[in-house]
Amino acid sequence: MRILLISFLTFISFAGNSQQIIDTIQSEEGTMIVFANRTWVYLEDLNFDGIMNHHVASQVDTDSNLNYIQSWDHDVCYTSNLANNVNAMKDTIWLCLEDSESDSLDGLFHMPTDGIITSHFGWRRGRNHNGTDLDLNTGDTVRAAWGGKVRYAKFNTSGFGNLVIIRHHNGLETFYAHLSKHIVVPDQMVNPGDPIGLGGNTGHSYGSHLHFEVRFYDIPMNPEKVIDFKEGIVRDENLMVHRGLFRPGGYAPSSSGKAVASGDKKYYRVRSGDTLGAIASRNRTTVSRICQLNGIRPTTVLQIGKNLRIR
């Protein structure tokens, strides 16, 4: 049971915009601001800039080739207006799919639904199919793949039908389309596996199914190169984002503990028991070279699950 403390305010200004306020409500979830037009928002959401992973955002912002845009907007699917060009990506950006800026389990993966794949990412009926279709029945529960914050939850007139978009702590966004009903609202925080909607057949759809997309800065990547849908797990917690990942047939991330090639670079994910000497010997390099590439010392304690550049 939530305990509410209500006070009355008449007028206040946020982010340069004056809005009439009729109530503030203090609850366990935070301070809720209620406006005269019967809309409401949590105080901490008023000036939210949309950044869920500051490390990834910093990598994108400092790469002068990209000039990628990604705002926080409840009313549009694509906050860049599809202006972000995958061909501008000259380097590789590392995402940890099981990492989070919070202390909770937001980074763990959960299957959005258990149905089999009925349509793959790639060219279909004269245009690119930007996601993976999963079989389900109308009314089946659809769940959040990772933890994050709901950016969009409403009926979309461009073909998605009832659509939920979640921006995740790992730097990705996921789309859940053709729902019969969405049961989350914009700015709502969700954990992996939380129910976000019910399966359906709305929008441009031929039979009940879930259209599931994985996007990086509005650019769709092949979900099957990130997720093993048969096993219900991510293929690797270390996702190397590069141009090939956004094309049908682009390679999948490596299996645990193996080196990952990316252009002229090569990375290794640290496993339990690894030492710099063993990693260097296994990959035909030297400890000093690994230290130079990663800005570390020979005495640095290695963190399990982290990537080391070895070439």
pLDDT value, residue 28: 67
Task: Name the band, by pLDDT with cuts 50, 70 and 90, for residue 296.
Answer: confident
Decide: 109 and 174 in contact? Cβ < 8 Å: no
pLDDT band at 290 (very low <50, low <70, confident <90, very high): confident
Q: What is the pLDDT of residue 272?
A: 79
Q: Rounded CA gap, 144 and 192, in Å?
A: 5
Of 206 and 253, the one with more pLDDT = 206
Does 259-309 match 50-253 at the fold level? no
| Separation in Å, CA 269 to CA 210, 240, 253, 275, 310 | 33, 12, 11, 12, 10
- 103-148, pLDDT tens digit by residue? 445 568 999 999 999 999 988 777 789 999 999 999 999 999 999 9
Q: Once rounded to an integer, what is the mean pLDDT over residues 280-300? A: 81
CA distances from 223 to 35, 57, 69, 88 (A): 40, 21, 22, 21
Confidence of residue 300 (pLDDT cuts 50, 70, 90): confident
Give the architecture-level CATH label for domain 259-309: Roll (3.10)
225 has pLDDT over 50: yes
CB of 86 within 8 A of CB of 219? yes
Please state the domain extents for the chain: 5-45, 50-253, 259-309
pLDDT of residue 266 exceeding 70, the answer is: yes
300 versus 20: the higher-pLDDT residue is 300
Q: Which two tokens stand for residue 290?
A: 């690994």
pLDDT (tens digit per residue) in 71-110: 999 999 999 999 999 989 888 898 988 754 444 455 689 9
Pick the CATH number of 50-253 from 3.10.20.600, 2.70.70.10, 3.30.465.10, 1.10.10.60: 2.70.70.10
Q: In the prediction, which pLDDT does 91 show?
A: 86
- Over residues 269-281, the mean pLDDT reads 83
Instruction: Confirm if 104 and 158 have CB atoms less than 8 A apart.
Output: no
Give me the amino acid identity at 151. R
* Residue-level pLDDT at 126: 74
The more confident residue out of 303 and 187 is: 187
pLDDT at position 262: 43
Identify the CA nearest to 192 among candidates 225, 234, 226, 231: 234
Amino acid at 172: L
**Who has greater pLDDT, 26 or 159?**
159
Q: Which of the four pLDDT bands, split at 50, 70 and 90, describes residue 29?
A: low
